[in-house]
A and B are shown apart, each in its own frame.
Chain A
Amino acid sequence: MVRRRSCTRAPVVSAAVVLGILALTGCTSLNPGTEEATTTAQEFHSAVATGDGATACNLLAPSAVEDLEDGAAGACADELLQLVIPGASEVTESKAYGTNAQVLMDQDTVFLTRSGDTWKVTAAGCTRQGERPYDCEVEGN
């Protein structure tokens, strides 16, 4: 029997090509780029540097706020300003993958997570520990 293999392969090939292009170009909606993350990290450091704890806390992820307040609701700003977070203003490199980002600054490394349309700081005042997770002054779970 002659088996005709017509165009049944075409949709599979097309789907693979589309999937490949999407992944290779990083053209996914969860990879929104690093500019907004960089801006948030700079705004956070600027707020801390000027003693504006309320603004800095607004830029933190809920888990980081909870960690700072430790049950004392509303204590975020005071607790945050008591921490020794190195002053940083210059950004040397930013990386964003999916819903997480890392902003390397002159005196600090900031980690962020995307929630809705905005980036929130999950960790700041971080020191590199080799292969192990960074040791951070502010850190959400």
Chain B
Amino acid sequence: MKHNPFITNGLSIGFGLLFLFSLVGQAFSGLAYYNEQQVASKLDEIGLLQYVTSSSFVVDVAENWQSEYLQFTLLIVLAVWLVQKGSPESKEIEKRGQQSDKEQLVGQFAKPDSPKWAKAGGWRTAVFANSLGLVMGAIFVASWLVQSVAGFSAFAESQLANLQDPGTWTEYLGSPEFWNRTLQNWQSEFLAVWSMVILAVYLRQRASPESKAVGMPHDSTGASN
């Protein structure tokens, strides 16, 4: 049966809109806050375009992006080997590790409708078999790099406002400011994953694929709705 594409893409559309609304909200609230400080210093207010291309906006966006992509990259990759008894975020205890080609439907075990690179074998299958972690990891690294560059620019700007030397980017990489921004985001992401992994053992959300079925036993691992 053919469904309306708005239904079959509901999750990506829904979260895409939530992302856009949040980003726009961040831009306007950030601009208002920035201009409050400008007015307090008797300086001209700036416009939206100027603000969204400023280092202070870019670093605020990038520092949150990098931690989210790190969270998902680690969850995707570590869950290959680490398991959690009873958690729907984990696969079955016996399935930890890379699993066989037969279980993963690659090479000669690929199905007719398997992706091309799953059938291809060699480096293409090896790349495709790790593509989700690789792409998520690459976005994490890129976002963290952007955070470091924009963060340095914003830090240097505040240093100059305080009549201090701005320093260099490499000095900034070892600064408490950079690591404080980084680690305060990482700790919250890791806590969220840890909570999800553990709470989902004992708690349920009816009909959510992130939960086991309501009646599933607590020690049932790898089950989902």
A→B interface (CB under 8 Å): 2, 8-9, 11-13, 16-17, 19-20, 22-24, 26-31, 61-63, 66, 95, 97-102, 111, 113, 115-116, 122-123, 126, 128, 131-134, 136, 139
Which residues of A have CB within 8 Å of B201? none
Which residues of A have CB within 8 Å of B143? 16, 19-20
In angstroms, Cα B165 to Cα A131, docked, is: 8
B150 touches A100 (CB 8 A): no
Ordered by A's residue number, 9 sampled pairs between the chains whose C-beta atoms are within 8 Å are A16-B143, A23-B150, A28-B53, A29-B50, A30-B55, A63-B41, A97-B156, A100-B156, A100-B160
B139 touches A136 (CB 8 A): no
Given contacts A19-B146, A23-B149, contact A133 B139 (CB under 8 A): no
Given contacts A134-B163, A134-B164, contact A16 B41 (CB under 8 A): no
A133 touches B164 (CB 8 A): yes
Using CB atoms, name the residue of chain A closest to B49: A29
**Main secondary structure on A side of the interface with B:** mixed
Chain B residues numbered 121-164 whose CB sits less than 8 Å from any CB in chain A? 135, 139, 142-143, 145-146, 149-150, 153-154, 156-158, 160-164
Given contacts A31-B153, A115-B44, contact A12 B113 (CB under 8 A): no
B42 touches A62 (CB 8 A): yes
Given contacts A19-B58, A29-B49, A115-B43, 13 further A-B contacts (CB under 8 A): A8-B12, A20-B142, A22-B58, A28-B53, A30-B46, A30-B53, A61-B43, A97-B157, A98-B54, A102-B160, A102-B165, A113-B43, A123-B163
In angstroms, Cα B55 to Cα A30, docked, is: 8
In angstroms, Cα B160 to Cα A101, docked, is: 6
Using CB atoms, name the residue of chain B closest to A27: B53
In angstroms, Cα B163 to Cα A63, docked, is: 14
CB-based closest 7 A-B pairs: A98-B157, A100-B160, A97-B156, A62-B42, A133-B163, A97-B157, A116-B44
In angstroms, Cα B160 to Cα A134, docked, is: 10
Query: Count the B residues whose beta carbon is within 8 Å of the partner chain — how many?
Result: 39
- Would you call B166 an interface residue if the criterion is a C-beta within 8 Å of the partner chain's C-beta atoms? yes
A23 touches B43 (CB 8 A): no
In angstroms, Cα B145 to Cα A17, docked, is: 11
Using CB atoms, name the residue of chain B closest to A135: B163
Q: How far is the CB of A76 from chain B (nearest CB, A)?
A: 14
In angstroms, Cα B43 to Cα A61, docked, is: 8
A111 touches B160 (CB 8 A): yes
Q: How far is the CB of B168 from chain A (nearest CB, A)?
A: 10
Which residues of B have CB within 8 Å of A9? 135
Chain B residues numbered 55-106 whose CB sits less than 8 Å from any CB in chain A? 55-56, 58, 61-62, 65
Using CB atoms, name the residue of chain B closest to A21: B146
Which residues of A have CB within 8 Å of B165? 102, 128
